[in-house]
Chains A and B, each alone.
Chain A
């Protein structure tokens, strides 16, 4: 049985809107889930996003790649909810200016750890580190795209990403045998 697909005009406005949103829903769901931490709040957040997106449906249907626009709005709605719930900590980013020393552990850590334990450790990160890690390593956004999404300079994001990775490795390496070495590499700096 053949199935028909129509272009926007043949669709009702609501159907055209849903057709434009549909390809992005899985990624937006994962983001919402990671922002909020549980499915119920994630769905509430996505419903807020859908309401906001409906108001801007013309913009969405005209964008070649509305994914970053939707992700940016989702993040801002998440921050609004976070603030309303009193969860915003003004001191969260005080470590941005601190340098992270290079790891000298010569053994990999995470391949010996169960995935759920790694994810639990991700959820223990400070929000500003967790966010960039989820967007970059989890969703594949580049730092430039993330910068546009959450209005944080790429240099700061780079530091937060490195700090997040280092924190997870350090936390999960505790209790395991470690081997360190001073870096002997030369040639090129």
Chain B
């Protein structure tokens, strides 16, 4: 491997995109070539300079103009610390109180509102939430989705996640709520019985 090849294709070679042998050759070349080591070190310095560019942070005023409903953000929940640090307790609670059913039209289904209380020791930003629904349930407004993923922040302390469900039948499995942040994840599972306990408003008609 020559210097031009290494410098031209540095990222792909070191990432193993050209295979293990090529990656080993690249490392061997770097170990023996001061010019390519200097080049690679400068690439790292350049990346840090670009990443640390403080002026690149979005001013709050701009964020307010672009996302007026999200500034300050209604923090969602949960236990981030959980996710982040060992020794930080994350407490998940299923709140038993039921919310009024949201539907007014006659229906054969039942509405159920599941509320999860997520305790977090730290504030975390951009936490990924994933919801997986068992057969026999629908997320209100998303009749065809068995899973839903979104991002939000978690505040310190108690955060509540409200999940509006429509029970079209007996749930055929567990409802899974999963949080991921910084490579770590936390799961909460609700059994069919725990889901249906939150059902309200049994309807008598047909859903149209």
Q: Which of B35, B53, B126, B152 has most chain A Cβ within 10 Å?
A: B35
Given A2-B160, A108-B45, A137-B43: A10 in contact with B140 (beta carbons within 8 A) = yes
Asked if B207 lies at the interface with its beta carbon under 8 angstroms from chain A, I say: no
Residue numbers in B under 8 Å from A138 (CB-CB):
47, 50-51, 53
| Complex interface: stretch among B74-82, B167-175, B195-203 | B74-82
> Smallest Cβ distance from B133 to chain A, in angstroms?
11
Find out whether the CB atom of B42 lies under 8 angstroms from the CB atom of A165: yes
Q: Which of A3, A19, A138, A166 has most chain B Cβ within 10 Å?
A: A3
Find out whether the CB atom of B142 lies under 8 angstroms from the CB atom of A169: no
Residue from A7, A46, A110, A188 in contact with B162 in the complex, judged by beta carbons closer than 8 Å: A7
Given A9-B142, A169-B42, A188-B25: A159 in contact with B69 (beta carbons within 8 A) = no
Find out whether the CB atom of B66 lies under 8 angstroms from the CB atom of A30: no
| Complex interface: stretch among A69-77, A85-93, A99-107 | A99-107
Given A118-B49, A158-B9: A39 in contact with B67 (beta carbons within 8 A) = no
**Interchain CA distance A107-B163 in the complex, whole Å:** 58
Residue numbers in A under 8 Å from B150 (CB-CB):
7-8, 19-20
Find out whether the CB atom of A187 lies under 8 angstroms from the CB atom of B28: yes
Asked if A174 lies at the interface with its beta carbon under 8 angstroms from chain B, I say: no
Residue from B32, B46, B57, B139 in contact with A118 in the complex, judged by beta carbons closer than 8 Å: B46
Interface membership of chain B positions 101-136, coded 1 if the CB is closer than 8 angstroms to chain A and 0 otherwise: 000000000000000010000000010000100000
Residue numbers in A under 8 Å from B52 (CB-CB):
115
Find out whether the CB atom of B35 lies under 8 angstroms from the CB atom of A2: no
Find out whether the CB atom of A109 lies under 8 angstroms from the CB atom of B66: no
Asked if B34 lies at the interface with its beta carbon under 8 angstroms from chain A, I say: yes
**Interchain CA distance A8-B162 in the complex, whole Å:** 11
Interface membership of chain A positions 140-183, coded 1 if the CB is closer than 8 angstroms to chain B and 0 otherwise: 00010000000000000011011001101100000000001101
**Interchain CA distance A33-B59 in the complex, whole Å:** 12
Interface size class of A (residues with CB under 8 A): 35 or more
> Smallest Cβ distance from A20 to chain B, in angstroms?
7
Q: How many residues of B contact A (CB 8 A)?
A: 73
Find out whether the CB atom of A168 lies under 8 angstroms from the CB atom of B58: no
Find out whether the CB atom of A9 lies under 8 angstroms from the CB atom of B139: yes
Find out whether the CB atom of A50 lies under 8 angstroms from the CB atom of B56: no
Find out whether the CB atom of A18 lies under 8 angstroms from the CB atom of B47: no
Find out whether the CB atom of A134 lies under 8 angstroms from the CB atom of B46: no
Find out whether the CB atom of A33 lies under 8 angstroms from the CB atom of B55: yes
Find out whether the CB atom of A188 lies under 8 angstroms from the CB atom of B29: yes
Find out whether the CB atom of A119 lies under 8 angstroms from the CB atom of B49: yes
Residue numbers in B under 8 Å from A158 (CB-CB):
8-9, 12
Asked if B97 lies at the interface with its beta carbon under 8 angstroms from chain A, I say: no
Given A105-B35, A137-B47: A19 in contact with B152 (beta carbons within 8 A) = yes
A to B CB contacts below 8 Å, 8 in the list: A5-B152, A7-B162, A8-B142, A8-B150, A9-B141, A22-B152, A102-B7, A103-B3
